[in-house]
Amino acid sequence: MEGISIYSRIGAKSFFKRNGFAENIVVSHDGVASNEPVKLRISFFGKNFDVHQLYDFFQKGCELSEFVEIDKTLAKIEYNLFEVIGYVLSGDFEKDCLKEGLDLAKIGKMPYLDVLEQKLVGIIAKLYNQNGFPLLRKRFPFSICLTHDVDEVRKTYQYFTRALRFAKSGEVSRSFKELQNFFIDKIKRKNPFWTFEKLMEVENSYKVRSTFFFLEESAKVTANPVSWKHYGRRYKFDDEKMTKIIKELDKNGWEVALHGSYNSFNDLNLLEMEKNKLEKALGKRVLGIRQHNLNFSIPYTWKIQRKAGFLYDTSLGFKSSDGVGFRWGTSKPFKPFTEQGEEIDILEIPLTLMDISLKSPEESREVVEKLINSVKDFGEVFCVLWHHALFNPRDFGEWIELYSYILELGKTKGAEFLTASEINDIWRRREESPLKVVYGKNKVAYSCDYPFVRMDVV
């Protein structure tokens, strides 16, 4: 790893914020210290992982025991864990893994960075506990963030691409049915991809709300077949029908956000123009964004998103061909950093699950449950992307059932269902609310205007 001081600073700052420590905990680039109620310290030492060693360390569950020596009030850790955290959250771990041909999706099935942070929090809590005191932190509630990318609002080329896909897999009758549906829908003027009413019906039945990311695509359609899908994704925010549904969603408690067009990830003017158009249709400020196709230039896209006035992004996830899980090993929101280690004031809400990354509804329930359990045990936010077109019962009935299963499972496991803007609000409130702790004889008192305060006792 290069730039150790930058990684360490990034890691220390992120660890403190992401884990909600009280003011009496002092986190610096080389460790953790506290003088209240007794003098406690965790010190890091200079050994470094190379990218292959770190990949193996994450793959094996971040086992720290052989690297840690704990005394009464002192813990010595062989590696600088803040450097590791900063290395991942800078994006450089991902870059180096790709250079070395290491499969991020393989280790990304678990939130390895969250596991590492939880173990470090456990060491701090153990030092407190063995000296007779609990460790207090501002926790983030275990949450499920439901989101929908509105890529297209009418079915066009999909009749033919689906028919071709069915034909290639030997499903001749389904291929024929898809072509038949094309003519039937045209004659009857049906639009199977206008699914907003069905989607709202499903979420209303579970008393949950979600975030819709609306797209106004302007990318050119060329002779290259890859670009043809841009043609089917043409709708305008100011179309009367679109403006009406945008306002209806907002009025009834759903969130409206921007799905930045295909080329907007590196074009500030385009991003600002699309944001202004959506705000005009909505009649209020748009707070969040997800880039179309998850296109992203790290950290440049975050910089221009912030300049455009966005407060959060939720584009950091595996693309459909890479699988599901935790692209940077985390489900916890965080503020990203520039190449110089300066914090960018935009909240990244990592994406965990995208519908088109799943093989089939029948095979996916176990995958979904494992991911939700991992977030519940180690992380904070299970962020789901379910394209709104999949709420078409004729074509995707089994996918609606799988989505309903996610909602049922989340309810069973006690998750809070929050929109992306609600997560942004809660995270920022935690960051801005000082937790003051006073340790007295046989009692602990604290003050904090943030509602979710917990005691860690190991």
- Higher model confidence: residue 362 or residue 352? 352
Which helix H or strand E contains 394, and what residues bound it? helix 393-412
Which helix H or strand E contains 46, and what residues bound it? strand 40-47
Cβ(192)–Cβ(391) below 8 Å: no
pLDDT, one tens digit per residue, over 298-339 is 999 999 999 999 999 999 999 987 889 999 999 999 999 999
Which helix H or strand E contains 454, and what residues bound it? strand 453-456
Q: How many angstroms separate the CA atoms of 298 and 317, rounded?
A: 13
The pair of structure tokens assigned to 100 is 């070395």
Share of the chain above pLDDT 90, in %: 76
Q: Per-residue pLDDT averaged across 89-95, rounded?
A: 97
Best mean pLDDT range from 356-360, 394-398, 421-425:
421-425
Cβ(212)–Cβ(202) below 8 Å: no
Q: Per-residue pLDDT averaged across 139-155, rounded?
A: 93
Show me where the domains of the chain are located. 4-139+436-456, 143-154+193-417, 156-190
User: CA angle at residue 21 from 17 to 24, to 5 degrees?
Assistant: 130
User: Which string of DSSP letters, residue by residue, matches 340-384?
Assistant: TSPBPS-EE----EEGGGSS-HHHHHHHHHHHHHHHHHH-SEEEE
Query: What local confidence, expressed as pLDDT, does residue 110 receive?
Result: 96
- Higher model confidence: residue 158 or residue 58? 58
Query: What local confidence, expressed as pLDDT, does residue 154 receive?
Result: 77
DSSP summary character for residue 49: -
The pair of structure tokens assigned to 316 is 């950091």
Q: Write a three-state SS string for 64-128.
A: CHHHEEECCCEEEEEECHHHHHHHHHCCHHHHHHHHCCCCHHHHCCCCHHHHHHHHHHHHHHHHH
Query: What local confidence, expressed as pLDDT, does residue 2 receive?
Result: 47
Query: What local confidence, expressed as pLDDT, does residue 219 receive?
Result: 74
Which helix H or strand E contains 137, and what residues bound it? strand 135-138
For 360-379, letters b (16+ CB in 10 Å) and e give ebeebeebbeebbebbbebb
Q: How many angstroms separate the CA atoms of 98 and 100, rounded?
A: 5
Query: What local confidence, expressed as pLDDT, does residue 3 receive?
Result: 46
Question: Is the dihedral angle over the CA atoms 284, 290, 292, 296 positive or is it negative?
Answer: positive
Q: Which CATH superfamily is domain 143-154+193-417 in?
A: Glycoside hydrolase/deacetylase (3.20.20.370)
Cβ(162)–Cβ(171) below 8 Å: no
User: Which string of DSSP letters, residue by residue, matches 249-305?
Assistant: HHHTT-EEEEEE-TTGGG-HHHHHHHHHHHHHHHTS---EEEEGGG---TTHHHHHH
> Above 70 in pLDDT, residue 340?
yes
pLDDT, one tens digit per residue, over 153-207 is 876 666 566 667 767 777 767 676 666 666 665 776 777 778 999 999 999 999 9
Q: Per-residue pLDDT averaged across 409-415, rounded?
A: 97
3-state secondary structure (DSSP) of residue 34: strand
DSSP summary character for residue 213: E
Q: Per-residue pLDDT averaged across 432-441, rounded?
A: 92
Share of the chain above pLDDT 70, in %: 90
Cβ(23)–Cβ(437) below 8 Å: yes
Q: Per-residue pLDDT averaged across 407-411, rounded?
A: 97
Q: Is the pTM of this model over 0.75?
A: yes
Query: What local confidence, expressed as pLDDT, does residue 232 receive?
Result: 55
The pair of structure tokens assigned to 7 is 């990684």
Question: Is the dihedral angle over the CA atoms 343, 347, 350, 351 positive or is it negative?
Answer: negative
Backbone conformation region of residue 442, classed left if phi is above 0, alpha if psi is from -120 to 50, else beta: left
Cβ(344)–Cβ(335) below 8 Å: yes
Indicate the average pLDDT of the chain: 91
- Among 231, 244, 305, 303, smallest CA distance to 274 is for 305
